[in-house]
Amino acid sequence: MQQDMFTADEVAERLGLHVRTVRNYVRDGRLKAVRIGKQYRIARAELEAFTGQSLEPTVRDTVTRHRHVGVSSIVEIDAINPATASRVSTLLTSATAHRRDGDEQLHLETIYDEQRGHLKIVVLGSLTTSAYIFGLISAVIEEPDT
């Protein structure tokens, strides 16, 4: 997506001028701009008319950005017996071994302290995958202990 509005700093950088020179062009009316707050914004069309040529897109304008959202969570479960802790760990290990699309970043770690009956689960992954993992944990720990 090409940028439609530029700051005076961006115009100065594109044209190889000092920013004060660009601001002077705007104040003198040689370069049309809109004042937003304390800064000038210069439209692409106005800058092209001022220079007499179309603008080449900058690297920043041509870079495709991909949004990545990650979750890092620690789930702590108290008063869990060894058999249930083992079931949770086995289920999560199986879930990481059989990944679905988008699970590339999934990482799980389980730590069980038998003396305290405490299970700690570290989950690193995408939003959807983390929610799926939390659902698996919930399904196992909400069953009555046998």
Residues contacting 96, CB < 8 A, separation 6+: 106, 107, 108
Interval 54-98: pLDDT, tens: 877 665 556 677 777 889 999 999 999 999 999 999 999 888 777
This prediction has a pTM of 0.54
Q: What is the dihedral of CA 97, 92, 106, 129, to 10 degrees?
A: 110
Structural domains in the chain, CATH included, are 5-62 (1.10.1660), 71-141 (3.30.70.60)
Which tokens in the block code for residue 14? 């594109």
Contact yes or no for 73/65 (Cβ under 8 A): no
Q: Which amino acid is at 129?
A: T
Q: What is the mean pLDDT of residues 2-24?
A: 90
Rounded to an integer, what distance in angstroms lies between the CA atom of residue 110 and that of residue 80? 13
Interval 17-52: pLDDT, tens: 999 999 999 999 999 999 998 899 999 999 999 998
Confidence of residue 101 (pLDDT cuts 50, 70, 90): low
pLDDT at residue 1, as a whole number: 42
